[in-house]
């Protein structure tokens, strides 16, 4: 019997059969079932084949079940879905009028195929036909689509997919719910407020979406619009929020990488968004990174696995220590053999402008901070354009790049400056004794290269200068030390009531191959002068230097000399006689000198 004769017969039979008989499945030929559905599915550009049995139920609604179904692109023959059972509920109104219509369609246990690449257009024809028929009103499309126990093959592999799309005939709004597992993690997606007819007609449709998984959530409320001539074919705009417990884990699951990724764990992003192809504009956004909250604007590009991000962000306050903790651990002094690799931090491109009214880096408190971070071509540059520090200003710049001679190594170039910083207050912030007070200014320029921290330290080269104007040494009276020929009054250090005001104190150091040479070390006080010569080793963390005190009064005898030697944590100090030979410039790593230590250890707090 031809389909045109069978359709009215099915309608008449459904009206006269009893409920019991109509609910029973009737076996029909697979070829007959395919002929019934071929025209309707062909209108969507979909070809249907099957290799299993077919059954028909008439009540409560006429339904065809077809096992071993295969849906393919009618134009190219590429599979869209195959395997499982296809169930089609026929439209009873259409049957009474002698026309076959699909009221709902469900597919159980099928495997869906995604496009294999940019040249794979298997879904374009069917989706275009769906959009054309959606413009025809409530009777031009199925009112429900259900997938159960489905799997998605290809790069985006999904398992246990359960999808339910409902577009009732009496409403112009479609809703969808989906549950699936992706890389072993369960997720759920809900979609609502979508108006397919407006969307298919080229207009804008409201949309509300929410995706939830164990490690976070993504939500968006706004409008969607189809743009067939643009990459991606869809534009979205609205308000959204992304929240994740681990940003590195989320991006790894998406096969994406980003700059400075090891520094980010708990992460949240919310605000206004607009999409154009792979580009996402964020004209208003709020970023939560740990305890830090920043507001601003930005953009990102998703076209490549390496994310490209641009942003300008500002905060009332920032706590930088937790963000830099992974980097500090990797560069810790207790792990000199730790490899210094930029690869984990340069997985994407980043152009970030950052400002904050206040910031804290460990114990140091900064004010009015303005900084920038640039990551590009495997290199990282951090610039501290301005920051207030204890009444003064701090500036700096650090550039890291793969070494030209050894791509596995890292080249570091750093420079920074201090201007009018309260040195005593800064030492207190750093947990040190405030043994010197006054406004300090200084400059540092340093460069090195190596594969690990020990190599970087051993190859360090550069220059550093410090100068304090009109300051004072606290806890030590150098005039009294001169008068006592290098000795100290009993209990003077414990009382810390000594004081040495000075006009100027300056120190300059040159670095080469991990060794620092003190080029100038001088202190000028009203009644005395002091000088410091020698050097230290960054590799061995040892000091070898000589200090000299001289009274400024005419006719006074020369002051005492002090020899300082030993590891930084425990410098040994002794008074030298004026007739002892001069200190060799090359003796930088000598053992602590024997003899009575007339000044206590940690002489950095007492020597000029």
- Cross-strand pairs, 501: 472
Burial 386-411 (b: 16+ CB within 10 A, else e): ebbbbebbbbbbebbbbeeeeeebbb
- Contacts with 382 (C-beta within 8 Å, 6 or more apart), sequence order: 371, 372, 373, 397, 398
Domain count, the chain: 2
Give the span between the Cα atoms of 284 and 21, in whole angstroms.
Answer: 63
Of the residues 136, 151, 171, the one at which a domain ends = 171
Tokens of 551: 């009274």
| 146, part of any domain | yes
Q: Which has the closest alpha carbon to 268: 345, 216, 312? A: 216
Contact 64, 33 (CB under 8 A): yes
Those residues with Cβ within 8 angstroms of residue 250's Cβ, 6 or more apart along the chain or in another chain:
215, 216, 244
d(CA 442, CA 463): 11
Residue 553: is its pLDDT beyond 80? no
* Predicted pLDDT of residue 12: 54
The 3-state DSSP class for residue 200 equals helix
- For the segment 224-246, the average pLDDT, to the nearest whole number, is 86
Say if 360 falls within a structural domain.
no
* DSSP 8-state class, residue 246: -
Q: Look at residue 453 in the predicted model and tell me its pLDDT.
A: 83
pLDDT value at 604 more than 70: no
Beta strands in 423-514 (DSSP E): 436-437, 439-450, 461-474, 499-512
Q: Which residue has the tokens 């300059």?
A: 508
Please state, in angstroms and rounded to a whole number, the distance separating the CA atoms of residues 435 and 473: 6
Whole-number pLDDT of residue 313? 97
The answer to whether residue 89 sits within a structural domain is yes
Residue 98 has pLDDT above 60, yes or no: no
What pLDDT digit, counting tens, does each position of 442-461 carry? 999 999 998 888 888 899 99
| Element holding 30 (H helix, E strand) | helix 30-42
Instruction: Please give the distance of CA 483 from its chain centroid, rounded to a whole number.
Output: 61
Check residue 264 and give its pLDDT. Answer: 85
Q: Which residue has the higher pLDDT, 140 or 464?
A: 464
Tell me the pLDDT band of 580, cut-offs 50, 70 and 90.
Answer: very low
- Report yes or no on 425 lying in a domain: no
Measure the CA–CA gap between 498 and 605, rounded to whole angstroms. Answer: 12
Answer yes or no: is pLDDT of 579 > 60: no
Q: Which residue has the higher pLDDT, 513 or 331?
A: 513
Nearest-angstrom CA–CA distance, 543 and 571: 7
Nearest to 222 by CA among 180, 290, 273: 273
Type and span of the H or E element at 325: helix 321-330
Backbone angles phi, psi at 100, to 5 degrees: -85, 130
Q: How do residues 260-287 score in pLDDT, each as one tens digit?
A: 988 888 899 999 999 988 899 999 999 9
- If one compares 555 and 147, the residue with the highest pLDDT of the two is 147
Per-residue model confidence (pLDDT) at position 191? 95
Token pair of 490, please? 């009993």
Place 599 in a pLDDT band, splitting at 50, 70 and 90. Answer: very low
Tell me how far CA of residue 330 lies from CA of 198, 342, 349, in angstroms: 55, 11, 22
Average pLDDT value over all residues in the chain: 83
Q: Give the pLDDT of residue 234.
A: 84
86 part of a folded domain:
yes
The span from the CA of 290 to the CA of 150, in Å, is: 38
pLDDT tier at 590, thresholds 50, 70, 90: very low
- Whether 18 has a pLDDT exceeding 50, the answer reads no
Burial of 136 (0-12, 13-18, 19+ CB in 10 A): exposed
Cβ count near 270 (within 10 Å) = 17
pLDDT value of residue 501: 93
Range of the structural domain that residue 589 is part of: 460-605
Domain end position, chosen among 148, 171, 194: 171
| Last residue within a domain, chosen from 132, 150, 171 | 171
Give the C-alpha separation, 399 to 223, whole Å: 43
pLDDT in tens, 251-260: 988 889 999 9
Q: Which of 9-13, 245-249, 394-398 has the lowest mean pLDDT?
A: 9-13
What span, in angstroms and rounded, lies between the C-alpha atoms of 542 and 565?
7
| pLDDT-based confidence at residue 326 (cuts at 50, 70, 90) | low
Long-range contacts of 158-161 (CB under 8 A, 24+ apart): 158/182, 160/186, 161/112
Please determine, for residue 586, whether its predicted confidence score (pLDDT) is greater than 60.
no
Helix axes 3-16, 30-42, angle to 10 degrees: 110
pLDDT tens-place string over residues 353-386: 999 999 988 788 999 999 999 999 889 999 999 9
Q: Mean pLDDT over residues 583-589, rounded?
A: 38
Radius of gyration of the chain, Cα coordinates, nearest whole angstrom: 38
Q: In 3D, which of 138, 134, 125, 108 has the Cα closest to residue 47? A: 125
Give the tokens for residue 204: 């804008």
| Whole-number pLDDT of residue 595 | 33
Peptide bond into 60 cis (omega under 30): yes
Tell whether the model's pLDDT for residue 92 goes beyond 70: no
- Does residue 158 form part of some domain? yes
Q: How confident is the model at residue 209 (pLDDT cuts 50, 70, 90)?
A: very high
Q: Which of 23-37, 84-98, 167-181 has the lowest mean pLDDT?
A: 84-98
Query: Residues with Cβ < 8 Å from 2, sequence gap 6 or more?
Result: none
Q: 206 lies in a domain?
A: no
67 lies in some domain: yes
């Amino acid at each position: 019997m031809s389909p045109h004769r069978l359709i009215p017969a099915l309608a008449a039979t459904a009206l006269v059969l009893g409920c019991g008989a109509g609910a029973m499945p009737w076996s029909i030929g697979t070829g007959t079932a395919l002929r019934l559905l071929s025209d309707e599915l062909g209108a969507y550009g979909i070809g249907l084949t099957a290799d299993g049995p077919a059954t028909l139920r008439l009540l409560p609604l006429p339904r065809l079940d077809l096992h071993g179904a295969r849906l393919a692109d009618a134009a190219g023959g590429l599979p869209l879905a195959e395997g499982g059972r296809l169930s089609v509920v026929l439209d009873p109104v259409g049957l009474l009028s002698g026309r076959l219509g699909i009221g709902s369609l469900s597919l159980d246990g099928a495997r869906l195929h995604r496009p294999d690449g940019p040249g794979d257009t298997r879904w374009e024809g069917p989706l275009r036909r769906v959009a054309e028929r959606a413009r025809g009103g409530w009777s031009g499309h199925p009112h429900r689509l259900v997938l159960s126990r489905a799997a998605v093959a290809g790069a985006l592999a999904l398992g246990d997919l359960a999808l339910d799309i409902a577009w009732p005939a009496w409403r112009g709004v479609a809703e969808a719910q989906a549950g699936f597992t992706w890389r072993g993690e369960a997720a759920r997606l809900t979609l609502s407020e979508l108006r397919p007819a407006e969307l298919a007609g080229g207009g804008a449709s409201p949309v509300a979406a929410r995706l939830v998984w164990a490690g976070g959530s993504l939500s968006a409320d706004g409008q969607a619009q189809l743009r067939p001539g643009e990459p991606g074919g869809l534009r979205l705009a609205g308000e959204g929020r992304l929240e994740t417990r681990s940003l590195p884990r989320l991006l790894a699951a998406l096969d994406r990488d980003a700059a400075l990724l090891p520094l980010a764990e708990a992460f949240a992003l919310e605000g206004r968004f607009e999409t154009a192809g792979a580009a996402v504009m964020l004209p208003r956004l709020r970023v939560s990174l740990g305890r830090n909250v920043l507001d601003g604007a930005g953009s990102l590009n998703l076209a490549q696995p390496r994310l490209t991000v641009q942003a300008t962000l500002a905060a009332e306050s920032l706590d930088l220590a937790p963000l830099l903790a992974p980097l500090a651990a990797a560069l810790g002094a207790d792990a000199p053999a730790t490899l210094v690799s930029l690869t984990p931090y340069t997985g994407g491109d980043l152009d970030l402008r950052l400002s904050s009214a206040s910031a804290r880096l460990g114990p140091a408190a900064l004010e009015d901070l303005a900084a920038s971070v640039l990551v590009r071509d495997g290199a990282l540059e951090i610039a501290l354009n301005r920051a207030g520090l204890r009444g003064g200003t701090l500036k700096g710049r650090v550039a890291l790049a793969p070494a030209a001679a050894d791509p596995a190594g890292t080249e570091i170039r750093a420079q920074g400056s201090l201007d009018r910083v309260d040195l005593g207050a800064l030492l207190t912030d750093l947990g040190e004794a405030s043994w010197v007070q006054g406004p300090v200014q200084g400059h540092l320029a340093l460069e090195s290269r190596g594969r690990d921290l020990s190599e970087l330290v051993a190859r360090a080269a550069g220059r550093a200068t410090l100068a304090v104007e009109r300051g004072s040494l606290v806890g030590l009276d150098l005039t009294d030390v001169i008068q006592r020929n290098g000795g100290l009054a009993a209990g003077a250090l414990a009382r810390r009531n000594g004081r040495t005001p000075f006009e100027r104190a300056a120190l300059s150091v040159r670095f080469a191959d991990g060794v620092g040479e003190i080029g100038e070390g001088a202190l000028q006080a009203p009644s005395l002068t002091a000088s410091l010569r020698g050097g230290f080793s960054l590799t061995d963390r040892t000091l070898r230097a000589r200090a000299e005190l001289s009274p400024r009064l005419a006719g006074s005898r020369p002051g005492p000399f002090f020899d300082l030697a030993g590891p930084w944590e425990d410098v040994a100090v002794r008074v030298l006689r004026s007739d002892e030979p001069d200190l060799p410039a090359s003796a930088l790593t000598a053992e602590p000198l024997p003899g009575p230590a007339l000044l206590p250890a940690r002489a950095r707090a007492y020597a000029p």
